[in-house]
Amino acid sequence: MGTEHGISFEGPPHRVTVHSFWMDRYEVTNKEFRQFVEATHYISEAEKFGWSGVFLPEKKEWSPVQGADWRHPEGPGSSLDNKWNYPVVHVSWNDAQAYARWAGKRLPTEAEWEWAARGGLEKAEYAWGNEFTPKGRFMANTWQGFFPEKDEGSDGYQSIAPVGSFPPNGYGLYDVAGNVWEWTADWFSEDYFEKSSGALDPRGPTSGSEKVIRGGSWMCSANYCSGYRVAARQKSPVDSGLNNLGFRCVK
């Protein structure tokens, strides 16, 4: 896992071993999260805070939006009508953990996530190979154009897309690149990869202030994070929710 062609904390490349596991084929959807909320009466952290982070394309910036939460992804006035098959967003790491426990699953470790996302390809740049758009075909929901000036929407979407809108990887997993970033179980550390070579089922540092997120989102472009690369990694505080951050589970 890892790469020597990205940000310094995405390397060095190193070999680890993970035991077998199952992974959700899709990112957890609004419909699935609603079922969890209806069964448990769970209140998300964004709902408790009264706001969440929303990227506003018209302003070309992130803003704390009052009333933004998983039910209202762009803020008051927005809804999930016709979006039940979209990935749930504005879920914190704590929210994702609560859902996973209810579902009898858990969040993937970072090593499990990268193993699964690679789909059986060794050292590939992307989940589908080394060419970003093979034969001109878009393989993930990303930002086309210069971020944040303009998303040309050449892939058919200028924001989040329904799960499964693009081809799966070699393991049958959809949207492991683009659409929404995905929470993992691991704490983030810039130098952890330097210490975990040869590890069996690595679970990240024992403590930290932010959790690793993987996979990139619809906001990732060539000039901004290129997080759709299979080795790309970023981090976020455990209580944060954003309109480009979701999750999937393993078992």
Q: What angle do CA 12, 139, 228 make, to 5 degrees?
A: 30
Whole-number mean pLDDT of the chain? 97
Q: Contact at 8 Å (CB) between 227 and 216?
A: yes
pLDDT in tens, 79-121: 999 999 999 999 999 999 999 999 999 999 999 999 999 999 9
pLDDT at 210: 98
CATH for 1-251 is 3.90.1580.10
In this predicted model, what pLDDT tens digit does every residue of 115-140 receive, in sequence order? 999 999 999 999 999 999 999 999 99
Residue 182 · residue 204 · CB < 8 Å = no
DSSP 153-171: -TTS-SS---TT-S---TT
Per-residue model confidence (pLDDT) at position 126: 98
The type of residue at 21 is F
- Is 44 strand, coil or helix? coil
Strand segments (E) across 57-98: 61-66
In the predicted structure, residue 225 carries a pLDDT above the cut 90: no
Report residue 131 as tokens.
């060419």
Instruction: Read off the pLDDT of residues 145-199 as tens digits, 9 standing for 90 and up.
Output: 999 999 999 999 999 999 999 999 999 999 999 999 999 999 999 999 999 999 9
**Cβ neighbour number for residue 86 with a 10 Å cutoff:** 22
Q: Report helix, strand or coil for 217.
A: coil
d(CA 108, CA 204): 11
- Cα separation values, 123 from 36, 51, 220, Å: 37, 40, 21
Question: How many CA atoms within 13 Å lie on the side-chain side of 227?
Answer: 27
Domain borders along the chain are: 1-251
pTM of the model: 0.97
> Helices 93-102 and 30-40: crossing angle, nearest 10°?
70
* Contacts of residue 190, Cβ cutoff 8 Å, sequence gap at least 6: 8, 9
Cα 198 from Cα 13, distance rounded (Å): 11
Q: Which pair of structure tokens corresponds to residue 157?
A: 């979407």
